[in-house]
Amino acid sequence: MADEGRNGTDDLDKRIADAKAAHMQRSKVDHAAEGRAETRGWAVGIEFVGAVIVGAVIGLLLDKWLNTAPWLMIVFLVLGFAAGLRRAMSTSKQFDTDLTTDR
């Protein structure tokens, strides 16, 4: 009778250990996927902000050179915003297609 109780405990211990191992494996995969998603999110944001800043700087330099302040800066700021938005959308679309092909 004591053997039956001990075997049941061993079986339970094995199932608990297996469940913990499976959970740890899933956690590692989930953390890796979260890290990739975060990196991709930062990449999209940095590309967008970079395009806006480059557009503003080009406009500012042209304004100083042509003495047309602030009109060219405004125009190039809007163009930089549009270029950044377009680039962010295309990068996001590329990331989405990468995610669907990885599965």
**pLDDT one-digit tens code per residue, 38-62:** 888 888 899 999 999 999 999 999 9
Q: pTM higher than 0.95 for the full model?
A: no
Spatial distance between the Cα atoms of 52 and 79, rounded to a whole number of angstroms: 8
Cβ atoms of residues 51 and 87 within 8 Å:
yes
Q: How far is CA 10 from CA 4, 5, 14, 98, in A?
A: 10, 9, 6, 44
Q: What's residue 19's pLDDT?
A: 85
Coil/strand/helix, residue 70: coil
Spatial distance between the Cα atoms of 99 and 17, rounded to a whole number of angstroms: 32
